[in-house]
Structure 1
Amino acid sequence: MTAQASPPNVDASFVDRLSQNCAVQFLDRVAASADKEAFRYPRGETWESMTWRQTGEQVQRLAAGLLSLGLQSEQRVGIASGTRYEWILADLAIMCAAGATTTVYPTTNAEDTTYILADAECRVVFAEDDEQVAKLTANKAELPHLAKVVTFDGTADGDWIIGLDDLAKLGDAYLAEHPGVIEETAKSIAPDQLATLIYTSGTTGRPKGVRLLHRAWVYEGTAIQVQDILHEDDLQFLWLPMAHSFGKVLLSAQLACGFATAVDGRVERIVDNCAIVKPTFMGAAPRIFEKAHARIITMQAAEGGLKEKIFLKAFEVGVKVDRLKREGKSVPLLLALQKDVFDKLVFSKVRERFGGRVRFFISGSAALNADIAEWFHAAGILILEGYGMTENAAGATVNHPSKYKIGTVGPALPGSEVRIGDNDEVLLRGPHIMAGYHNLPEETASTLTEDGWLHTGDKGSLDADGYLTITGRIKDLFKTSGGKYVAPPAIESKFKAICPYASQFLVFGNERNFVSALITLDPDAMAGWAEENGMAGESYTEIVRSDAVQSMVGGYVEQLNEKLNRWETIKKWKVLDHDLTIESGELTPSMKVKRNVVEENNKTLIDSFYS
């Protein structure tokens, strides 16, 4: 086994801060930054801003409201909602009332929502709207512990279901009788007390509740703060699902660093919002960068002519210059001058699409193709890839703005460790590791070692500088009948970098004599393609089945095969007549592909490749 300790920049003050809890961390931030902006969120066509003091007042009212309902220490409170300011208020209020937040994606069906809330024994649930409330009322008999539902926008009945303002009014009355109760409650919370119960949207089986303690989230925020990556004058744009640990860890970073956050969970408005908000950083999954890259490429291709030639030449030059710089080599004068010209003509416009102030993006939750990372970097947009999972509070490794290696997910966070175990499995240890799976002792024992190492199930390697590279999920790797190993994620991400119309590209071939693929195309990108190719108004199915699209996709597959080893090349493939969706059960709520479901749904088609 190969061990790699974290960077040696952990001092006594760092360790001392880990004795805090999330509630005290929040109250301390309110005191330190009272009149500075904390959050902004959309109200119609404008954005409303809240200071830390105002946020603190709202949180205290809601936390007191929860205490008035009889919430006890570590009792679970659910949040079934999309990402919005109220989600964050609810989460912070639960923390300050010493409860434990249990997250539910708004796209989770009624059956799984009921399972999660019942398994967690939630006493209160924050439900976004009538759609979320309906899931609860329809299964009320299966939720015996649920005493109250608090809705953000839904219809209250004044009894079992109340509004957010109603909860705040209960809090006002409770605070009048118990002044100082929130501060007292916050100080009473131990670092090893349960803070969140996040149910993993697993690609197989029932969701598993991951028990994360206060110390895990405090550690995550502190580990980012001590690296001097983010500061009070930064502005985050937050759209990530807060039900996912990636979104939650960015909230922890905000409490530690004190920057402001603009919140809007509407995915379709990400790029438009960036242009308005002008953030300095944003976290995102690779699919967002893939879509942005594809949109810019296809828009430029549609213009054609001289503009397209200039665009393509700009990125050719930009990538060359960046590679030379990263390799520590000098850049020829002519090439440097070309880069400067192209920066004014092309790259500045790309940066402006994201507001023009982005210092870096943080990519996580899945592998980012290195070619796409290089493409953005050539335009002056740095994407720092990181790695983690719900079981370690989202953040395990991350590249640094001043020291990064494209294609890796960076070194371990300060105060934690990464090790490569048997079968090249990535193992993690540190204050961020979960306490275990809720009500699943056998699963916990098989995932956590007695000396605190977390088995991730991911295959990876460490270089001499301690930078981690992830190959893929061990269970997803397969061997052809010829004995050659294939890593599907590496091939799949390469295709998405080549084909700007791709949504999903899934590789198969376990114990088969060659590799095949199922392809889905992005509906938005294909609608634009249809307009440019005389098929406007036709259905998605008709478009993707057309000879023109089949020929186009075939060309991209040929380009992909040129980049692969002989045994990895795609011999047969098929474009599906639908994209994968959460509703079809082929994607998890966090947009991960349920490979086994897709394979089972298309078993006859895949078998036909080999018949």
Structure 2
Amino acid sequence: MNDAAETVQSTNEEAAGVPQTLAELFTMSAERYGREDALNYKRDGAWQKISSSNFVERARNIALGLTSLGLRKGDRAAILAANSPEWTLADAGCQFAGIIDVPIYTTLAPEQVAYILNDSGARVLFLANREAHTQIAEALGRCGSIEKIVFFDGADADLDSAISLEDLEAAGARLKQDQPERADELTTITTGSDIATLIYTSGTTGEPKGVMLSHTNLISNVIASAEQYSFADLDVSLSVLPLSHVFERMGMYVYLMNGMAVHYAESIEKVPENLKEIHPTIFIGVPRIFEKVYAKARLTALQSSPLRERIFDWAIDVAKEYALTIEAGEHVPGALRVKHNLADKLVYSKLRDFFGGNLRFCITGGAALSDEIWLIFTGAGIRIMQGYGLTETSPVISSNNPRGSRLGTVGKPIRGTSVRIAADGEIEVSGPGVMRGYYHRAEATLEAFTEDGWFRTADIGELD
């Protein structure tokens, strides 16, 4: 999207009291909701909490701490760590400082990490701990732009080029005391058209490309994709997907904007335990998660007894029949309703209990959700809203929602986004969420758009 369009939108949104930058989103949310448990994480067997006001204060100190290291607006800082409140704090600190953050998957090979660091020219690297550093230490030696490593775990910050996140925050707090005008600048340093993040896509061929997403890209997507869901500050969420993925990142901004209590899963292995502990009302996951939940439930029935296996399979058939009946807008026959009620007591209730027993709905994307899985979960009382999007579109293009969901589709385009189908069936998109381009890839950027400015998704689809 061009700068002129972003300026018009930003001006209109400013008048309506809508945040124009991510820093404004964080600040407005803290002022509006004032949660004592905005961010929640488990340490030493107990859940700890960070208030929304403390989150903003710490993010501002991180921003000033980065400034004290010599970073300025437009510089890049990479984040290589698993989900944690420190990840979100590092991201927020960068946004307050006008620094472009570069999220990196923890599963990438050292050579891939080095490529992203070199291509982005990142000057600072946020790492979880010394173990993470050891894994990429050799590759880091070939990354000439990195000047400082910030460890989330302060006990590991014993390298000459390292500092702990705690010490970085302390440096920011000192700068705020000594030069209060620098702190005031944080409220005006960025605009909606500024690049907020650089996300590298794996791609199918060639080296990964850095997708440039502006504040307007992300905020417009957060607002438009969430408006049909009726999110509220009473909702509870569990962060499971990696924050380096734009889908989870957008979800995090939705949680914060709507004043929800965010909980970070301890690990993938601990997700079932964490779900039972916090009883989320909202769950964001890729289709593979729901496939695994179903497969595990069926395996449990299979290993239990032949009778339980038959009961489980019968209940699944009932769930699919029930969901198809509702989907068709037909009256549910009495016999089917009786079978469904019995199956609910025997099987479905256990599926819902796996997710904590308090879900309003799930949201999925990142890959296609099979009709069978949708029917099974919908029939079991677990509504799954499937959407579609790409990193290059911030990410949501279209989505089903509680006000309108249809089997076999990815819903209607979100507000402000237009979709058309090219002659060869390719999906083309236009709207405020479409990226600014690929970093240092002018030719690739040009190829990604049609002559009249629509983004080519490289996906095939049809409009219904």
- TM-score class, shorter-chain normalisation, is over 0.9
Match of 1:50 in 2: 50
Alpha-carbon shift at residue 18 of structure 1 (Å): 6.6
Give how far 1:140 is off: 4.7
- Structure 1: gaps spanning 5 or more residues: 1-11, 464-611
Structure 2: segments with no counterpart, 5+ residues: 1-11
Shift in alpha-carbon separation, 1:34–1:188, aligned structure 2, 3 A: same
AA aligned to 1:96 is: F
Aligned partner of 1:79: which letter?
Answer: I
Structure 1 equivalent of residue 214 of structure 2 = 213
Residue in 1 aligned with 2:223?
A: 222
Instruction: Give the secondary-structure state (helix, strand or coil) at the position aligned to 2:187.
Output: helix
Q: Retained in 2: the 8 A contact 1:72–1:99?
A: yes
Corresponding residue SS for 1:77: strand
Shift of 1:118: 1.2
Q: Residue 31 of structure 1: CA displacement? A: 1.2
Tell me if 1:185 matches 2:183. Answer: no
Question: Identity over the aligned pairs, expressed in percent?
Answer: 34
Amino acid at match of 2:410: V
Q: Is the 8 A contact 2:21 2:190 kept in 1?
A: yes
Q: Find the aligned partners of 2:180 and 2:210 in 1 and give their Cα distance.
A: 35
Query: Relative to structure 1, is the Cα distance of residues 172 and 409 closer, same or farther in structure 2, using a 3 angstrom cutoff?
Result: same
Q: Which residue of the partner structure matches residue 101 of structure 1?
A: 101
Alignment of 1:571-586 (within 5 A): none
CA RMSD of aligned residues (A): 2.0
Q: Partner letter of residue 383 of structure 2?
A: L
In structure 2, distance between residues paired with 1:295 and 1:140: 40
| Correspondence for 2:374 | 373
Please give the secondary structure, in 2, of the residue aligned with 1:458: strand
**What's the counterpart of residue 173 of structure 2?**
172
The residue aligned with 1:302 is 303
Summarize deviations over 1:342-367 as a string: whole Å, max 9, x none. 22222112101110011111111111
Which residue identity does 2:95 align to in structure 1? M
8 Å CA contact retained: 2:114, 2:139:
yes
1:120-135 alignment to 2 at 5 Å? 120-134=120-134
- Are residues 140 and 334 of structure 1, via their aligned partners in 2, closer, same or farther at CA, if it must alter by over 3 Å? closer
Shift of the alpha carbon at 1:13?
5.4
What is the one-letter code of the residue matched to 1:280?
T
Distance 1:176 1:136, change over 3 A: farther
Segment drifting more, 176-185 vs 427-436: 176-185
Structure 1 window deviating more from structure 2 (334-343 vs 400-409): it is 334-343
Provide TM-score, normalisation by structure 2. 0.93
Corresponding residue number in structure 1 for 2:76: 76
Which residue in 1 is equivalent to 2:346? 345
Name whichever of 339-348 and 272-281 sits farther off.
Answer: 339-348
TM-score normalized by structure 1? 0.71
Cα distance change of structure 1 residues 183 and 317 upon mapping to structure 2, 3 Å threshold: farther
Describe the SS at the equivalent of 2:412.
Answer: coil
> Given residue 324 of structure 1, which amino acid in structure 2 is its aligned partner?
T
Q: Any idea what SS the aligned residue of 1:422 has?
A: coil
Shift of 1:405: 0.7
| SS at structure 2 position matched to 1:267 | coil
2:290 counterpart of 1:280: no
Kindly state the Cα deviation for residue 139 of structure 1 after the two structures are TM-superposed. 4.1
Higher-Rg member (1/2): 1
Q: Which has the higher contact order (CA 8 A, sep 6+)?
A: 2
How far apart are the structure 1 equivalents of 2:455 and 2:413?
14
Q: Which amino acid aligns with 2:56?
A: G
Moved over 4 A (4+): 12-19
- What CA distance in whole angstroms lies between the structure 2 residues aligned with 1:296 and 1:413? 34
Q: Which residue of 2 aligns with 1:233?
A: 234
How many equivalent pairs are there? Answer: 453
Q: Verify the 8 A CA contact 2:19 2:25 in the aligned structure 1.
A: no
Distance 1:267 1:247 in 2: 14
1-structure distance, mates of 2:320, 2:194: 48
* d(CA) in 1 for partners of 2:24, 2:226: 16
Cα separation, 2, equivalents of 1:317 and 1:139 = 54
Q: Which amino acid in 1 is paired with 2:364?
A: S
CA distance in 1, matches of 2:396, 2:101: 19
Q: Against the structure 1 CA distance between its residues 334 and 343, is the aligned structure 2 distance closer, same or farther, given a 3 Å change threshold? A: same
Give the structure 1 partner of residue 425 of structure 2: 424
How many angstroms apart in 2 are the aligned matches of 1:289 and 1:182? 45
> 1: CA distance between counterparts of 2:79 and 2:389?
23
- Alignment check: 8 A CA contact 1:240 1:265 kept: no
Q: 2:358 maps to what in 1?
A: 357
Describe the superposition over 1:357-407 as per-residue Cα deviations: whole angstroms up to 9, x where unpaired.
111111111111110111111110011111111111111111011310122
